Structure 1
Amino acid sequence: MTSELSEIASQERQSIKTWPGYIRAMHWTLASCVLGAWIMSENIRWVHEYLGYGAVTIVTIRIFAGFLDGGFVKFTNFVKGPAETVGYLKQIWRGKEERHIGHNPAGGAMILALLLTISMTGLTGWLLTTDRFFGEELLEDVHQFLANGVIFLVALHLAGVLLASVRHKENLVAAMITGRKRLT
């Protein structure tokens, strides 16, 4: 028992707290809302709508946190300009990208893309429930296009997480569960 505690304490000293509990809870809840809304889109409409509202609520809170919180949560600490993001993508292509404790520039761009696309999907979905736009085919098509875009971005996100986990020999899924990443 004592050796197990020593092992845990050693791992804690060699890691850094990256994601607060509320960010991790929102991440997994948002993933569940998006997946559930996608699955329910043709089945139980009211469940689809409430999951969509849940997703938009989480996105709104995350946007506020990105401006108000600090550390690895703050947008200015991981959102980079187009030149730096493209440069990082070129490094990935060459297999020479550097590891980041927080989000890398590609991850930062993905977060922005997901937040925007989920927001727009939610907005168009809500508009479809209003008297003005109920049954509007063009808006339904836009909503479906955006929803498919979210799923495409999620697939890219998962591929990026897998690639970074393999390249940097760390489990990024575990980091989003524990909130910790290794220092070196």
Structure 2
Amino acid sequence: MVKVMVYHIGGDNPRANTALKLVRSGLAEAVRTIPRGVLVLDPYAKLPVSRSDATIVSSNGILVVDASWRRLRLPRKGLKRRLPLLLAANPVNFGRPFILSSAEALAASLYIAGFRDEARRVLSVFKWGPAFFMVNAKLLSAYEGRDAYGVISVECRLLREVVGVEMGDCGPESLTSLYKNIVSRYIDEGK
């Protein structure tokens, strides 16, 4: 079984906090320091999580930094990966791209890296958990089994064809810049 970890910073509603619910349910471990070699989910990382990360996740685990988007301070340790384009299924941000709960981020990363059962287990404690996989079925299927640059290629195609975003040179840097702008807008809106 994959080691799932939560580095809790706080700043949001503890009763609605999905990462803390995972810890209370025994599906994740709260950590005070970032373990060496762990895969850290970082919304500003250049490379997305991919099947190529399976060995790291299997041997060292995966960690989500649990904090309000407004107070997100990321640790310097760990192998950093971001999520590719996905939609939230949680009641707070349903249907919004990129703004996933901590539990959704963990589940998506596990799924893309090839740990489907663990991904489903992570979201099993939420009523809306199955909806995440239904809403993102095509996206997860498109990303699954690809390396980081394969995931980026799929993201670029989806942004052009589905979302209508035209990007001249669609690559790691341009996607990271686009996602930073989207997250900044959500923060400015108070989400």
Do these two structures clear the TM 0.5 threshold for a shared fold by scoring above it? no
**What's the TM-score, normalizing by structure 2?**
0.30
Write 1 or 2 for the structure with the bigger share of helix. 1
Q: Which protein is richer in strand relative to its size?
A: 2
TM-score by length of structure 1 reads: 0.31
Answer with 1 or 2: which has the greater Rg: 1
